[in-house]
Structure 1
Amino acid sequence: MAIPHGERCLVKMDKKLLSHYTLFDNQTILSCNLLAHQGYCNENHIITTDKNKYLLRKLLRDDIDRQNEYKIHHLAYNEGITAAPLLYDEVNEIMIFAFLEGKHKETLDAHELKGLAEVLKKLHNIEYGGSPIPLEIQNHTETITKALTTIEKYPKEYVLCHNDLNPKNIFFSHDIKFIDWEYAGVNDRYFDLACICVEFSLDEEMQEIFLKAYFSKRYSKEKLESYKIIYKTLCEEWFKT
């Protein structure tokens, strides 16, 4: 979910403010620049010092539980699947993380899909207490009603999910990392699986490779297809708001 730089007024970060953080003790802040592309929920800056690079996020939306987001980010970092969380300034609405080197990919080969499945399993195995996120769909068409009815036939497989695994939220380098945890929370594991299948436009063959790498047991194609419909509908409604 990215919008081009320049479509809105972006906050200019003050080096003087940043220098007050103990994180930058014994470092000289050389620059703090906006990234070329910005998300909907934060303004992203790259901080360069004489020793390191950092990602600074100026938090924009007030309808997101940022404390919970930061907690989940820590849990994910402990599993080695995201950048190190370094600072959360609730008063100034700032989070700072280690800067990740890597690139986003729109299409994946079989090896990358298998690696992605392994990282997703690590996320879904994190112990996390919380209530499931409701599927808030506004327009209940016949198709979406059928999909919702179908998933009710299957046992709930609630785990900690990212819930927004589009290509811009996944970094590929020597390993795979997830970023942007605003919408993370408890959901059925099939939601994240459906998200990846949809976002990377996996055909039947590549979808099978991905799911076989994720599951050590049989899985339900019917449940997956229903969650794909649900995910697409939620995205369509989200972008209309």
Structure 2
Amino acid sequence: MCFNKDNAQAYLSDLPEIRAAGLRAFESISIGTTNQNWKVETDEGVWVVRKNAVNVPGVDRHIEARILQLIEPLEIAPKLIAVNPKGGYLITEYLQGPAWATGDCANPALQKKLFEQLKPIHAIELNETSVSVRARVQQYLDLAPRQVKKQHQKQLYALLDDLEQLGFFEQQRLCHYDLNHTNIIGHNSIKILDWEFVGSAHPILDMAVFCVYEQVDSIKNSGNLELFQLTKKLVDLMFEVWHQIKPKHKQQQE
């Protein structure tokens, strides 16, 4: 569904949380590439309302909802107002403060601070096979055009086998899976946005995602260098496949 000012107002006004809080004003904002988002001013505060896109590869809305509630005490994500996967929406507080720029991602001091703040997240065990690396790779390949699948499948499977030999799958922890500068707010107290791709993996995956997104060669204290480099190769290939399947899902809304 494409929203204009009138039907967006009708949609927002109909959400029970917005109705109870009192809608004062709203504006469409750009966050990510798959969902519709609004900055909403209410009598109880300024919020972000996300209308979920459907059938997004790698996303499980029910697991996202459970994880957002689980990590709320860690105060690394925006405060939850409402999470309703059945209703197809998420409401969080609107965060002021600067989003990271690409240059921030190359700053060793900020890198260190970011991954220090992620340690409590990466300490959480998450044995959810539906959002594991293997499941995500298979889902991407199943949705990919035949030529893309033929080009990347053998190499992806080989990388998964090599990672298994290095112990990658011995640690299945909570990972963000979409760590890049557009999802990071603040330099003193860092907050991380957009947890819809959350899943289970070795914590080194978040470092690899960050480096591939931001074209950073390495991060200090990233651990086993061979494991890190292989994980980067896996992430890079996964991104290539993702970009082939992503446009099919961009405009679908619940």
Same fold (TM over 0.5): yes
Q: 1:65 to 1:149 in 2, by over 3 A?
A: closer
CA apart distance, 1:48: 1.1
> In structure 2, what is the equivalent of residue 123 of structure 1?
121
Deviation string, structure 1 residues 148-193 (Cα, Å, up to 9, x no partner): 3431221122101111112222222431111111111111222111
| CA distance in structure 2 between the partners assigned to 1:22 and 1:95 by the alignment | 11
TM-score, normalised via structure 2 length: 0.76
CA apart distance, 1:107: 2.2
TM-score, normalised via structure 1 length: 0.80
Per the alignment, in what secondary structure is the counterpart of residue 8 of structure 2? coil
Q: Tell me which of 184, 187, 190 is aligned to 1:176.
A: 190
Q: Tell me which of 156, 163, 169 is aligned to 1:151.
A: 163
- Structure 1 stretches of 4+ with a deviation exceeding 6 A read none
Q: Is the 8 A contact 2:51 2:88 kept in 1?
A: yes
Per the alignment, in what secondary structure is the counterpart of residue 103 of structure 2? coil
Q: Is the 8 A contact 2:127 2:172 kept in 1?
A: no
Q: Tell me which of 133, 154, 160 is aligned to 2:174.
A: 160
Name the structure with the higher strand share. Answer: 1
| CA distance in structure 2 between the partners assigned to 1:203 and 1:20 by the alignment | 44
Moved more, 182-191 or 128-137: 128-137
Structure 2: which 5+ residue stretches go unaligned? Answer: 142-148, 246-254
| CA distance in structure 1 between the partners assigned to 2:48 and 2:35 by the alignment | 11
Structure 1: which 5+ residue stretches go unaligned? Answer: 1-7, 212-218
* Amino acid in structure 2 at the alignment position of 1:237: V
Per the alignment, in what secondary structure is the counterpart of residue 24 of structure 2? strand
Moved more, 62-71 or 95-104: 62-71
CA apart distance, 1:41: 2.6
Q: Is the 8 A contact 1:101 1:173 kept in 2?
A: no
2:105 pairs with 1:93: no
2:102 pairs with 1:106: yes
Name the structure with the higher helix share. Answer: 2
> In structure 1, what is the equivalent of residue 237 of structure 2?
233
Q: Is the 8 A contact 1:19 1:29 kept in 2?
A: no
2:32 pairs with 1:39: yes
CA apart distance, 1:227: 0.7
2:52 pairs with 1:56: no
Between the aligned residues of both structures, percent identity stands at 23
| CA distance in structure 2 between the partners assigned to 1:142 and 1:224 by the alignment | 20
